Structure 1
């Protein structure tokens, strides 16, 4: 499923997540993954939480 498809279903989460499987026994369960990033190029978790909060409040 593409990002546009799962976002159209109402799924909201930070950028970088990729849908990779639907759980067969329960098709309403969508499984996502994203690469583990290390180093200074990755945003800090605190900054991401603040950005997610701001986006949630704006909507």
Structure 2
């Protein structure tokens, strides 16, 4: 029974590792794409600006 629990823990740790690795790879590919295609940088900055404006607008309405 103890070996089954240890096996499940190893499988869980493996899934966590693969998830972190995939997230880092996605962030790296996004950074490369933004550097390679400057319009993506403009779109990313515009999306962040719109998101921050929406957040501040919703924060004001909920108070």
Q: TM-score, normalised by structure 1?
A: 0.33
Q: Which has the larger radius of gyration?
A: 2
